Amino acid sequence: MTISGFFSSELKSVGEAAEPARAVVFVQGLHKWHGMFESLRGVDLEVTRGEVVVILGPDGAGKTTLMEILGGVRTPSSGVVKVFGEDPSCAGEAWHARTGTVLQMWRENSGWRVRDLLEYCAARYASIRTPGCPQPRPVGDVLELVRMTGSAVKRLGALHDGQRRRFDIAFSLITRPEILLLDEPTKDLGPAARGEFHEVIRYLATGEGMTIILTTRDLAEAQRIGDRVAVLMQGRLVTQCAPAEAWMRYPGTPCDFRDLLGHNWKEQPRWRS
């Protein structure tokens, strides 16, 4: 659930029946146009329950647009997009409670203190959740998980970029989501903080069975935390492979994405003719 989504409307029903084991995310023939510019060009993607999938690509590849569509923030121009069997663009709050989304756009609520906002959101969620849905995760546990216990009394507006990214992740964990959608979550983190974040991701995937999709420009990061790497270039999902396969073929970081795709790959126009 996004911060904006939490404040925009009431949670009506969260106790949904479990989805089939292989039906968490299904994307087929996804296209997205922005006026004359096509940012996604026939993307196909399927993600299974408990899998960590890393969308790897350079700036401008379409990573953020893809994550915004999966999170219900943008609508596709064409194609099929299903998360938990529903179209994210018109899903209700029951769906959003199952989905933790961390995008690059959330910068509101700067006057709140970290702990106060998390506690408010946890209390509100607890008051409107339906029987059968999980209790909110304790705020203290969330702060410890993202290494923000020492920043609990800071105001959001005083957090540096790395701390704000941690807070966004903490917020997304309050409702105990079944899937996390993370758009370049380590972009503003230093090496130590990035390593800690990788540990959190592996814990959530292996310890709690959470499905995770995240984007990055860093091949080394994809290799460390992904079960599968999907390379997005010029709006196309051009290859999917095991992290070790990509790492053995193209060691080092940052990677040359043209080399990753082979020397015969050529950019194609993305403007509407």
Q: Say which CATH number the domain at 111 has.
A: 3.40.50.300
Does 86 reside within a domain?
Answer: yes
Strand ranges across the sheet with 236-241 = 99-102, 179-182, 211-216, 52-56, 228-233, 236-241
Does 271 reside within a domain?
Answer: no
pLDDT of the residue at 150: 95
Determine the 3-state secondary structure of 29 from DSSP: strand
Does 268 reside within a domain?
Answer: no
Does 211 reside within a domain?
Answer: yes
Identify whether the C-beta of residue 52 lies closer than 8 Å to the C-beta of residue 201.
yes
Does 257 reside within a domain?
Answer: yes
Token reading at 242? 């095991």
List the pLDDT tens digit at each of the 273 positions of the chain. 555 454 444 443 444 444 445 679 999 999 999 989 999 999 999 999 999 999 999 889 999 999 999 999 999 999 999 999 999 999 987 788 889 988 865 556 788 999 999 999 899 888 777 777 788 899 999 999 888 999 999 999 998 877 888 898 899 899 889 999 999 988 878 888 888 888 888 889 998 899 999 999 988 898 899 999 999 999 999 888 888 887 665 554 444 454 554 444 444 545 554
Tell me the Cα Rg of the chain: 18
pLDDT of the residue at 10: 41
pLDDT of the residue at 45: 97
Q: Which amino acid is at 239?
A: T
Does 267 reside within a domain?
Answer: no
pLDDT of the residue at 11: 41
Does 166 reside within a domain?
Answer: yes
Q: Which amino acid is at 18?
A: A
By DSSP bridging, strand 99-102 and strand 211-216 are unpaired
Give the Cα separation of 55 and 103 in Å (integer).
Answer: 14
Give the Cα separation of 92 and 125 in Å (integer).
Answer: 15
Give the Cα separation of 200 and 208 in Å (integer).
Answer: 11
Does 266 reside within a domain?
Answer: no
Which residues, 6 or more positions from 150, have their beta carbon under 8 angstroms from its beta carbon?
A: none
Give the Cα separation of 273 and 137 in Å (integer).
Answer: 50
pLDDT of the residue at 131: 72
pLDDT of the residue at 271: 57
By DSSP bridging, strand 228-233 and strand 236-241 are antiparallel
Q: Residue 116: enclosing H or E segment and its boundaries?
A: helix 114-128
Q: With CA atoms as reference, report the closest residue to 172 among 145, 209, 133, 153.
A: 145
Identify whether the C-beta of residue 70 lies closer than 8 Å to the C-beta of residue 91.
no
Question: What length is written for the chain?
Answer: 273
For 256, the domain range is: 3-261
Query: Taken in order 195, 237, 27, 88, is the CA torsion positive or negative?
Result: positive
- pTM of the shown model: 0.81
Determine the 3-state secondary structure of 230 from DSSP: strand
Token reading at 188? 């503003």
Q: With CA atoms as reference, report the closest residue to 200 among 144, 273, 245.
A: 144
Q: With CA atoms as reference, report the closest residue to 69 among 37, 103, 98, 97.
A: 103
State how many domains the chain has: 1
